[in-house]
Amino acid sequence: MRKVEQLPVLIVGAGPVGAVCAFGLWRRGVPVVVVEAEPAPVQDQRAASTQPPTLEILAELGLYEKALTRGLVSPVFRYFDRITGERVAEFDCALLKADTPFPFVLQHEQFKLVDTILAEVAGQPDFAVRFSAKLVGFSQGADAVSVELEGPDGRETVRCAYVIGCDGGRSTVRKLAEIGFEGFTYPEKFIKIGTTFDFLSIARDYCFRNYFSDPEEWCNLFKVKGDGPPGIWRAIFPSRVGETDEDALSEAGMRSRLTKFFPGNDRWEIAYSAIYSVNQRVAETFRKGRVLLAGDAAHVNNPIGGMGMNGGLHDAANLYTRLARVWRGEADDDELDIYSRQRRKAQLDFVQQQTIRNKKELEERDPARRRQHLDELKRTGDTPTLARAYLRRASLIDSVQAAAQVA
């Protein structure tokens, strides 16, 4: 094992995956430079559901307690049939108490995790964060990568030991590395509506995470803490065939969707809204020489079930653990190939399959298959052994453990 030149690792993207990856490396003595094209941390209302294995990562990094104070503990989630109004099933994460020290999901917005990490490293040596800096090219050598950055003061070249692309589904790093991104795009878009209306005030048995099956238009509904009381509820819907973005995001369009699923209410105070395309894709490899991918740069999926950000953070933990050893000369860089194989398996065999299935089951139109699915879901929720197995997969515990067996 030959110790590499002691250059920093450069992480492209200051979202949750990039921030956690950089923080994990830095805590292991590896200097890091994080570059972000945006002028400041993005306060985006994206992923929030933090699964038990991810909470274990945050605990190892010393970030769990701060996340807990800024999030909402969600021990259960429920499935409903919108057509009949029945609660089909409830899954209680307490069944996972033998599998994890954190048998619950923490509703904790991703930007809060980034904020916490940046506050932790402010003014610290060997942890540089550069906003308004865009990667525009790189060339790999035997012991280093020369990266070309473009910023407010023009272009410059930075040498680093490795480059980690955490720069999202349209990743510049992935494209420049000429790594394929295999998969498909859904024909419909997803609509996100945030409202301060308190759904727990309705006597309809809702909890902090709810899934509504409907053959015409499904819905996910969950709560985040926001900046404090009363918090914000997020509702996710699919767009309709032929519907324009403008119609979907019009006040009338949003109110119509909310009222369809939650009739009898007209107090819809819209905090924010968005519409976006959704893909199911996985990179053909997560490593090409000294260039690595993690998070959405490596894989994207629909948000049903709250697996996307979590899978990215599991990438980060796997990668910073291995890369730190390689950087210190304690392991061959074959370790990074293991990272790629393990995390691709987690995506292909678990996250991609599960999220595609989640969507199909919520939108099933065939009456017989739909009834069969709902009956099976109810039986699973009512049978502790089956419910625990379901929860292990839904929380990504099985994903992490199966990936760890790949050599």
Q: How many domains is the chain built from?
A: 2
Residue 46 has what pLDDT? 81
Q: How far is CA 250 from the centre of its chain?
A: 27
Is 398 contained in some domain?
yes
- Does 202 share its domain with 288? no
Hunting for tokens 């074959």 — which residue is that?
A: 334
- Does 327 share its domain with 217? no
The 181-185 sheet, strands edge to edge: 181-185, 279-283, 299-300
- Of 234, 257, 276, which closes a domain? 276
- Does 164 share its domain with 296? yes
- Of 276, 311, 327, which closes a domain? 276
Distance CA 287, CA 59 (A): 27
- Does 166 share its domain with 204? no
Is 317 contained in some domain?
yes
Residue 5 has what pLDDT? 55
Query: HSE-up of 397 (CA within 13 Å, CB side)?
Result: 23
- Does 144 share its domain with 66? yes
- Does 54 share its domain with 173? yes
Can you state the angle between helices 308-327 and 397-404, rounded to 10 degrees? Answer: 30
Distance CA 33, CA 147 (A): 12
- Does 219 share its domain with 122? no
- CATH number of the CATH domain containing 312: 3.50.50.60
Residue 4 has what pLDDT? 47
Count of CB atoms situated within 10 Å of the CB of 274: 16
- Does 197 share its domain with 149? no
Residue 2 has what pLDDT? 46
- Does 198 share its domain with 149? no
> What is the pLDDT tens value at each position of the chain, 407 positions in all?
444 458 999 999 999 999 999 999 999 999 999 999 999 998 877 889 999 999 999 999 999 999 999 999 999 999 999 999 899 999 999 999 999 999 999 999 999 999 999 999 999 999 999 999 999 999 999 999 999 999 999 999 999 999 999 999 999 999 999 999 999 999 999 999 999 999 998 878 999 999 999 998 999 999 999 988 889 999 999 999 889 999 999 999 999 999 999 987 777 899 999 999 999 999 999 999 999 999 999 999 999 999 999 999 999 999 999 999 999 999 999 999 999 999 999 999 999 999 999 999 999 999 999 999 999 999 999 999 999 999 999 999 999 999 999 99
Where in the sequence is the domain holding 116, given as residue range(s)? 9-73+104-185+279-363+391-404
- Does 123 share its domain with 239? no
Residue 241 has what pLDDT? 85
- Does 260 share its domain with 324? no
- Of 276, 294, 320, which closes a domain? 276
Is 382 contained in some domain?
no
